[in-house]
Amino acid sequence: MGPGPSDVSERVLKALSQPTIGHLDPSFITLMNDIKSLLQYAFQTKNELTIPVSAPGSSGMETCFMNLVEPGDKVLVCINGVFGMRMREVATRAGAQVEALEFEWGEAVDPNAVISALAKNPDINMLAFVHAETSTGVCSDTKTLCQIARSHSCLSIVDAVTSLGGSELKVDEWGVDAIYSGTQKCLSCIPGLSPVSFSPKAVEKIKNRQGKSFSWFLDLNLVMDYWGEGAKRTYHHTAPVNSLYALHEALRILKEEGLEAACARHVLHHKALVAGLEALGIKMLVSEAIRLPQLNTVGIPDGIDDAEVRSSLLKDYDLEIGAGLGKFAGKAWRIGLMGNACNKKNVTYCIASLGAVLNQQGHSCDVEQALKLTEQAYQA
């Protein structure tokens, strides 16, 4: 129950450990096609360029900037946590002129501030922001932000590492141009792959680049020849075959449940968790309207030792919760309810064991009452 990797199901682990076949084997090509359609479903898009990058989420971020940014491009990066900061860094290294728009940690990206910044800088041609900020547990209004980008002739670049499969996300309807995610959050697949999707407009920019991307490994003009439609399937790099078996299975599980049901499940258990946490005297750090159900950022009670509690939970209860990152380090815990790990058993177990550890550490709380209120939230 940390901020990811989340619990991987037996089905996904079983798929993962099937015998390795060649990355150009006809059966594997069929699997690649299946993965593409399942990813299109997960992202709610018809984008042809919807594929898993063969490396973790950060490389998906890098794929977006390394391919879209050309000399002279100016990117407005919205920063409300660690991953917005990372976007600024990656965009800068890719050669972009970066304009940063900073927000308080724990707050969402403010669309009005974005409108003002774009009005002041009419030569900005890309808008980058994080849908679900994993460092703070905040959800930003991606639909509105993408509309703003379009109306200012900007391409939108969206970090959906923690949102894919856990929060509403409609790439085509919202007009997202480039988006990347990770497999180890709400998809509950193993870490190491980064699903990405690019709109036809983004693909056009990539295909018409004047110069080559700095990265050969992430160069989509080459990767498209391997992952693209038709019989070409030109060898680029050796695909991570077994990890892709696992992703295929994780996406099938998501489709079986259905996106809407998966999102509703995340909200249900999140509400019960919050009821229990608050009953333990723990404060939610993010206001209700912009909270991510899959990542709950809570304040560490006064006088309680951050590391001792997490270490006791891990050692005595086999339960992982996440430390605070960046400005929240030592001040917050991040409790994940992602994908396969988002269930009633985990919620109840978390309240019971966190309550017990807090009592041991001198933060007096009524665990029985907290469990009762958790259960009531489920009945509501």
Q: Binders of a second copy among 168-187, rule CB under 8 A?
A: 182, 184
Please tell me whether residue 119 binds a second copy under the rule CB under 8 A.
no
Residue whose structure tokens are 């901020």:
3
- According to DSSP H, which parts of 237-335 are helical? 241-257, 259-279, 306-317
Length of the chain in terms of residues written: 380
Please tell me whether residue 93 binds a second copy under the rule CB under 8 A.
yes
**How far is residue 51's CA from residue 62's CA, in Å, rounded to a whole number?**
14
- Residue closer to a second copy, measured from CB, 7 or 306: 7
Please tell me whether residue 85 binds a second copy under the rule CB under 8 A.
no
**Residue burial 101-112, b: 16+ Cβ < 10 Å; e: rest:** bebebbbbbbbe
Please tell me whether residue 261 binds a second copy under the rule CB under 8 A.
no
Please tell me whether residue 378 binds a second copy under the rule CB under 8 A.
no
- Residue closer to a second copy, measured from CB, 56 or 299: 56
Choose which of 214, 317, 349, 378 interacts with a second copy (CB under 8 A): 214
Q: Binders of a second copy among 310-329, rule CB under 8 A?
A: 314, 320, 323, 325
Choose which of 32, 40, 42, 62 interacts with a second copy (CB under 8 A): 62
End-to-end CA distance of the chain: 24
Please tell me whether residue 191 binds a second copy under the rule CB under 8 A.
yes
Stretch that binds a second copy, among 59-67, 96-104, 116-124, 149-157 (CB under 8 A): 59-67
Q: Is 261 helix (H, G, I), strand (E, B) or coil?
A: helix
Choose which of 90, 127, 285, 371 interacts with a second copy (CB under 8 A): 90
**How far is residue 313's CA from residue 300's CA, in Å, rounded to a whole number?**
14
Q: Binders of a second copy among 217-236, rule CB under 8 A?
A: 217, 235-236
**How far is residue 272's CA from residue 375's CA, in Å, rounded to a whole number?**
7
Choose which of 8, 146, 164, 273 interacts with a second copy (CB under 8 A): 8
**How far is residue 295's CA from residue 267's CA, in Å, rounded to a whole number?**
11
Q: Residue 195 pairs with which residues in a beta bridge?
A: 52
- Residue closer to a second copy, measured from CB, 77 or 371: 77
Q: Is 210 helix (H, G, I), strand (E, B) or coil?
A: coil
Q: Is 322 helix (H, G, I), strand (E, B) or coil?
A: strand
Smallest distance from the beta carbon of 271 to a second copy, in angstroms? Answer: 25
Residue whose structure tokens are 């998501």:
254
For the packed helices 259-279 and 241-257, what is the interaxial angle rounded to 10 degrees? 80
**Residues near a second copy, by CB under 8 A:** 2, 4-5, 7-8, 13-14, 16-26, 54-59, 62, 66, 86, 89-90, 93-95, 182, 184, 190-192, 212-217, 235-243, 246, 314, 320, 323, 325
